[in-house]
């Protein structure tokens, strides 16, 4: 089973995403902050991480950048979640190495589709 990491400080959204991904047969690890996300990612090496940008402490963009800089995690698929839609946020996210970008509010169904699409594309 493919492991997916979800990091969001909002428990409701975390639960929502976990629920939909588990429903789609993913192994989901949910964390509430950037530091935990980084620790889990380095420990469990999930195939894909859904990271909320605006988290207290380390942001999703910071985690993304660190994961990309680490050889053991640099191939991990990363989707950034954010309530911000300004150009520089999106640019910042992509320049940090995100594979996709989903703005809040989003359709859980659509998010799952994107996760599946990314994983399918990444699978050689």
Judged by the rule CB under 8 A, the positions of this chain that interact with other proteins are: 10, 12-13, 16, 19-20, 23, 54, 83-87, 103-109
Nearest to other proteins of 68, 84 (CB atom): 84
With respect to other proteins, which residue has the nearer C-beta, 85 or 122? Answer: 85
Three-state SS letters, the chain? CCEEEEECCCHHHHHHHHHHHHHCCCEEEEECCHHHHHHHHHHHCCCEEEEECCCCCCCHHHHHHHHHHCCCCCCCEEEEEECCCCHHHHHHHHHCCCCEEEECCCCHHHHHHHHHHHHHHHCC
Q: Which residue, 112 or 118, has its beta carbon nearer to other proteins?
A: 112
State the minimum distance, in angstroms, from the CB of residue 110 to other proteins.
9
Query: In whole angstroms, how close is the CB of 35 to other proteins at the nearest point?
Result: 20
């Amino acid at each position: 089973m493919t492991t997916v990491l979800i990091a969001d400080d909002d428990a409701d959204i975390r639960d929502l995403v976990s629920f939909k991904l588990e429903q789609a047969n993913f192994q989901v690890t949910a964390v509430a902050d950037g530091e935990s996300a980084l620790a889990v990612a380095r420990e469990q090496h999930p195939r894909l991480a859904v990271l909320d940008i605006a988290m207290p402490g380390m942001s999703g963009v910071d985690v993304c950048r660190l994961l990309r800089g680490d050889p053991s995690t640099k191939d991990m698929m990363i989707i950034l979640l954010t309530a911000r839609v300004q150009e520089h946020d999106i640019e910042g996210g992509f320049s940090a190495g995100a594979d996709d970008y989903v703005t809040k509010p989003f359709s859980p169904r659509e998010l799952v589709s994107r996760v599946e699409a990314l994983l399918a594309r990444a699978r050689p």
